[in-house]
Amino acid sequence: MSIEIENKVKELASEIGDVYKGNDWLIVKKYILKYLNPSLRTYFSKRNVNTKKHILNNFEKQLIDFYENKFNVRLILDEDKQHKN
């Protein structure tokens, strides 16, 4: 992944982090995906085809760490929305 792509994603995370005070990962992810170029969305995980539940990939985990360092809020993916392997 290029630095430019990573910077754009972090910029969008910072935008929502300035106003959103919750800790729901899906709200932040949906905001980023809404304003991100569709060709760059491939870095984010997709829901499981059968269960329609979410999985965090390494890129998303790094973004959650970035968000926590910047805003002191640990984003979480609710257990009931998580796909179990």
Spans of all domains in the chain: 3-81
Mean pLDDT estimate for the chain: 93
Q: Compute the average pLDDT of residues 52-70.
A: 95
Range from 10-14, 16-20, 41-45, 64-68 carrying the lowest mean pLDDT: 41-45
21: how many CB neighbours lie within 10 A of its CB?
A: 8
pLDDT of res. 1: 67
pLDDT of res. 79: 86
Give percent of the chain with pLDDT exceeding 70.
Answer: 99
Are the C-beta atoms of 47 and 81 separated by less than 8 Å? no
Q: How many CA atoms lie within 13 A of 25 on its CB side?
A: 22
Are the C-beta atoms of 12 and 34 separated by less than 8 Å? no
Task: Evaluate if residue 76 carries a pLDDT over 80.
Answer: yes
